[in-house]
Amino acid sequence: MSKLAIAAAALLVAALLALPSVVGSVTEARVRERVAAIDASPTATAEIKSFERGWFRSTARIELRFVSDNVAQLPDFAANFGPGAALPVAIDFAHGPIAVLDGVHFGWSKMVARADAAAPGITELQQALGVPYLFEFRGRSGYLGRLSFDADSPAFELPLDEALLTFSGATLAGTFARSHLDADARIAAVELKSATDTFAVRGVVVTADNELRYVMPGRASLSVETVTAGDAANPTFEAANLSIDSNVTLDAAEELLEMRVNYNVDSVRVAANRFTGAALGLTVRNVDVATVEAYRAAALEAAAAGADEASLLASLGPHLERALKAGPSLTLDPLRFRYDDEPFDGRFEITTNVARLPPAGTLDVTNPLQILGLVNADADVRLSKLLAADLATLAARLQLGADESIPADQLEYMAEAQSGLMLTMLVGQGVLTEEGDGYRTSLQFRDGTVTLNGNPLPFGL
């Protein structure tokens, strides 16, 4: 072997031995950047308690603290986890280009994060739950910078006073690269059961395919197979196949946002009342991204300074003018459900009347009449006559129910009689129009003028 080849091989070996130390230094810098970003957020604080960096391995200990006061209280053995309490996290890193940590990984680094068992309360909580760890997050960074990850939280049973909380466990998997997150999380079941009642949620799936920016362009979804509450044998509330799907897109200049959210549920039963085939589609178009970001920054600043709502609105005046010039709109379509198999179908749309915008600098955001004058609206509703009768009877029953001297059977008779009169009056006044076995009403608001079923009303703006 030539001296040149020996020298090249020696340099390669030296480089491979030196790389883990370089990667460890880069890893520490990235961790400190991400912790600083979390600490700057309004919902949590984060602090690196220690970072021990070795040649091939490093360990970080981070303390997370959630700001919200709505953290649920845990039993006595977990007194350290009340509102505002810290979550200590220990993260083990292995440095590449060949990372060895719970197996071999060919990439820049590999990591495993768990609740820090050395911190007060963690070991006691794990023992009470009967789990080896509260959660485990495993990440692998490739040579091109892509992070692949998976995580899980083990199943457990936890007695709470006279009830039992059963958790099936949760899983998470996905990738993160160049601010793009593609992930899904799953929970098979969560159940809180007492001697008389049960609350259970089953088949929870969450997906995300988004850019991690404030407006979060991309797709996300949440689905739940069933939710039940009440007596286990005869629940008072049941819902099946709930889903929420959202899609956020930006225009080519990334200045305007469009968001579409679909809500669906196959069936909902509350006591004897049953709804089926419910769907709601919410579409928001031409939303000025700069205004959304300005509102977020102003709201955070106002909250920190204790400013009132009037001051917040005044600071947003110029941003709101620009946002209205883009012509934002909101549409609810479809809006439909069946109640006791009787259909309801509606559509609502609110658009901006850009032609009525006042001269620049004269918009008064505290004047509701001026803001209302910039809005056009359309509403169209159809429902079956049987459903209309049921709703009218319900309205009459609620009105008459204030008089406790009326017997129940007489109350029902009076409510049904009044509902018939009410519907006859609404049809006679042109508020409802008859279409076969159903009713329809259509309302338009244009340039300050209100039109009901094609007939202008004698008032406006």
Q: What is the pLDDT of residues 80-138, one digit of tens each?
A: 444 456 789 998 888 767 666 777 767 777 889 999 988 888 999 999 999 999 999 99
- Rounded to two decimals, the pTM is 0.82
Angle between helices 385-400 and 408-428 in degrees, nearest 10: 130
Distance from C-alpha of 224 to C-alpha of 238, rounded to nearest angstrom:
12
The model's confidence at residue 401, banded by pLDDT at 50, 70 and 90, is low
Distance from C-alpha of 74 to C-alpha of 80, rounded to nearest angstrom:
9
Q: What share of the chain is helix, strand, coil (3-state, %, to 5)?
A: 30, 45, 25
User: Which tens digit of pLDDT belongs to each residue from 5-39?
Assistant: 554 444 434 444 445 555 557 677 777 877 776 67
Per the CB < 8 A criterion, the answer to whether 135 and 112 are in contact is no
Where is 238: in which H helix or E strand? strand 235-250
User: Which tens digit of pLDDT belongs to each residue from 192-233?
Assistant: 999 889 999 999 999 999 987 778 899 999 999 999 999 877
**Residues 161-176: what's their mean pLDDT?**
94
**Residues 383-409: what's their mean pLDDT?**
82
pLDDT for residue 460: 54
Residue type for 441, please?
Answer: T
User: Which tens digit of pLDDT belongs to each residue from 301-350?
Assistant: 776 777 666 677 677 777 888 899 999 999 999 999 999 899 999 999 99
Tell me which long-range contacts 27-35 makes (C-beta under 8 A, separation of at least 24).
27/53, 27/58, 27/93, 27/95, 27/109, 28/53, 28/58, 28/60, 31/60, 31/62, 31/91, 35/62
Q: Please, what is the average pLDDT of the chain?
A: 84
